[in-house]
Amino acid sequence: MLTRTKKIDLRARLRRLEDVDWDFSTSRSQSAFSSLHWHPCRYPSQIPAVLIGALSDPGEVVLDPFLGSGTTAVEAQRLDRLCVGIELNPVSALMARAKTLSRDSGQIRKLVDRIRVLVRQTARRETVPKTVQSEKWYTPRTLNDLRKLRGGIAELRGDGRILAEAAFSAILLPVCRETRHWGYVCDNTAPKDNNERDVIELYEKTLIGFAEAYEARDAYRTVSYRRELPVPEVRVLEGDAADVLKSKSVEGAQLIVTSPPYFGVADYVKAQRLTLEWQGLEIEPLRQKEIGARSKRHRLVAADQYLADCKRVFDGCRGVLDRGRACAVVFGESGDRAPMKEKFEQVVESCQFKLIYKQSRKISSGRRQNPSLQTEHLLIFM
């Protein structure tokens, strides 16, 4: 059960942020989980790490209503905070769960070794779901190896199944026939190549990557004298964030750290097309619910709808955040669209929040969706 905790001097806590270089231009991602599964517009792990460390205390609850691939949750768990994340996209939710299991790294290593053995031993070829465009995306040899992997994964349950499914999802893009930009897969364009990779080798490498990432997490907790404490719980709730918050599934939080989808910049659901096909899920119903999707940008009411959707979510956030605590938002906008930041700030303040800190940061060229997206804004409300 989530509980409310002590009041803090939030403005004093904000002074801890005065000397932070929010560009993080000289540092790489702190999280070994970051490279395990591709995800569009993922923000650097340093941002939630700094915010969580400065604006909350160990044992408190961090909420991310736009969880994405789980970066906030990973950092909250590493820093011994509980976390609740809400995510519409089932693939992103799977990724977040696989990165935040409440097990120590020794148990994770045993799970990974068991999965590797099972995959090697299981020769049964699983039936390919009808939703998979198999001939379009994969060569015959690749498809055959993917079917064998699915046969082994079907034997697993619990946390082992989560890790196995996440590793399978992670390799689908690098083993598919498409070698151009990921946007061609997002837009369901026919590949122009016959790319092949060693499927089993790449799968095992990804599983080992998960084990090593958990070991890095626990190594940090050891250095911080927290290893003797249980690994904090992360709850990943699937669905529309406003609906989930309205349902009272989240009982309370002492900090919100989140990054809403940037208006008209990315199609987060369509970007995970390959995994959704293997999961047998339809893309269109999820896309219709997605906030700010690029595919909706030309609608006359798109901008107004985006702001209205954000208001629904932050109305819900206000109802679960403890009084006097912070709501930190990383907000980005494309130079190809009408300016949105000031309207977004007004929307959040209309939900009985007050803007108390703002800072701009340059986006690394490696993270840019397109050349026009070069700046993000850190906005902290209370």
- 68 vs 27, residue with greater confidence: 68
Mean pLDDT, range 93-112, rounded to an integer:
97
Q: What is the pLDDT of residues 137-196, one digit of tens each?
A: 999 999 999 999 998 898 899 999 999 999 999 999 999 999 988 899 999 999 998 999
Beta-sheet strands, E only, within the chain: 61-64, 82-87, 234-238, 253-258, 321-332, 355-362, 375-381
Q: What is residue 22's three-state secondary structure? A: coil
Do 47 and 196 lie in a common domain? no
What's residue 288's pLDDT? 92
Q: Residue 225 above 80 pLDDT? A: no
Torsion of CA 89, 81, 242, 350, to 10 degrees: -130
Which residues are within 8 A (CB) of 318 and not within 5 positions of it... i.e. 6 or more apart?
351, 352, 353
What's residue 365's pLDDT? 57
What's residue 322's pLDDT? 96
Do 192 and 239 lie in a common domain? no
What range defines the domain where residue 38 resides?
Answer: 10-95+232-381
> Would residue 357 count as lying in a domain?
yes
* Number of structural domains found in the chain: 2
pLDDT band at 42 (very low <50, low <70, confident <90, very high): confident
Domain boundary among 143, 178, 212: 212
Q: What is the pLDDT of residues 233-286, one digit of tens each?
A: 999 999 999 999 999 999 999 999 999 998 888 899 999 999 999 999 999 999
From the list 36, 78, 4, 47, the residue with the least C-alpha distance to 364 is 47
Mean pLDDT, range 55-77, rounded to an integer:
96
> Would residue 158 count as lying in a domain?
yes
Q: Residue 2 above 50 pLDDT? A: no
Number of residues assigned to the chain: 382
Do 185 and 332 lie in a common domain? no
CB atoms within 10 A of CB 316: 23
What's residue 212's pLDDT? 97
Q: How far apart are CA 82 and CA 33, in angstroms?
A: 18
What's residue 5's pLDDT? 59
Do 68 and 123 lie in a common domain? no
What's residue 364's pLDDT? 65
> Would residue 224 count as lying in a domain?
no
CB atoms within 10 A of CB 18: 8
Which residue bears the tokens 């909350």? 56
Do 376 and 236 lie in a common domain? yes
Instruction: Please state the φ and ψ torsions of residue 214, each to the nearest 5 degrees.
Output: -65, -35
What's residue 138's pLDDT? 97
Do 244 and 364 lie in a common domain? yes
What's residue 33's pLDDT? 92
> Would residue 223 count as lying in a domain?
no
Do 161 and 199 lie in a common domain? yes
- 56 vs 5, residue with greater confidence: 56
Q: Residue 3 above 90 pLDDT? A: no
343 in Cβ contact with 333 (< 8 Å)? no
CATH number for the domain harbouring residue 306: 3.40.50.150
Do 204 and 331 lie in a common domain? no
> Would residue 320 count as lying in a domain?
yes
What's residue 368's pLDDT? 44
Domain boundary among 181, 212, 243: 212
Which range, 6-10, 253-257, 296-300, is most confident?
253-257
Buried b or exposed e, range 134-168, using 16+ CB within 10 angstroms: beebbbeebbebbbbbbbbbeebeebbbbbbbbbb
Do 157 and 298 lie in a common domain? no
> Would residue 61 count as lying in a domain?
yes
Do 255 and 377 lie in a common domain? yes
What's residue 293's pLDDT? 87
> Would residue 72 count as lying in a domain?
yes
Do 138 and 80 lie in a common domain? no
Quote the percentage of the chain above a pLDDT of 70: 93
Q: What is the pLDDT of residues 304-314, one digit of tens each?
A: 999 999 999 99
Tokens of residue 131, six digits? 């939703």
> Would residue 169 count as lying in a domain?
yes
Q: What is the pLDDT of residues 43-59, one digit of tens each?
A: 889 999 999 999 999 99
What's residue 1's pLDDT? 39
Do 321 and 294 lie in a common domain? yes
What's residue 124's pLDDT? 75
Domain boundary among 159, 183, 212: 212
